[in-house]
Amino acid sequence: MSKKIKLETRYGTKNYLEQYQGNTYVLKTESPYLRTGTSSTGKEFVDPSGGPMLIVGNKIEDKTITSIGFIKDVGTVITLE
């Protein structure tokens, strides 16, 4: 069974990370909208509707986000270490 990490959100939106492979998780959200890009400091981010904004270098459950990417037919993937 894959591990799920519930993300703190606003407006009752249900967003979570579901384990894909090892330390890599797929972002799951009930909203079809999200923003992605690079911050002014050069760090990649993804911001699903309702939050939270996930930025490379930030922590989730005492783990650091080391990369954010996209895999066709899988979705937005986030690696934690």
Question: How far, in Å, CA of 47 to CA of 2, rounded?
Answer: 23
Q: For residue range 14-49, what is the model confidence (pLDDT) as tens digits?
A: 999 999 999 999 999 988 889 999 999 999 999 999
Q: Which helix (H) or strand (E) holds 75?
A: strand 75-80
The total number of residues shown for the chain amounts to 81
pLDDT digits (tens, 9 = 90+) for 61-77: 999 999 999 999 999 99
Contacts 24+ apart (CB under 8 A), 63-66: 63/23
pLDDT at 1: 62
How many CB atoms are closer than 10 A to CB 67? 13
Quote the pLDDT of residue 10.
87
Structure tokens at 24: 């890599």
pTM, whole model, 2 decimals? Answer: 0.91
CA–CA separation, 43 vs 57, rounded Å? 8
**pLDDT tens digits, 41-57:** 999 999 999 999 999 99
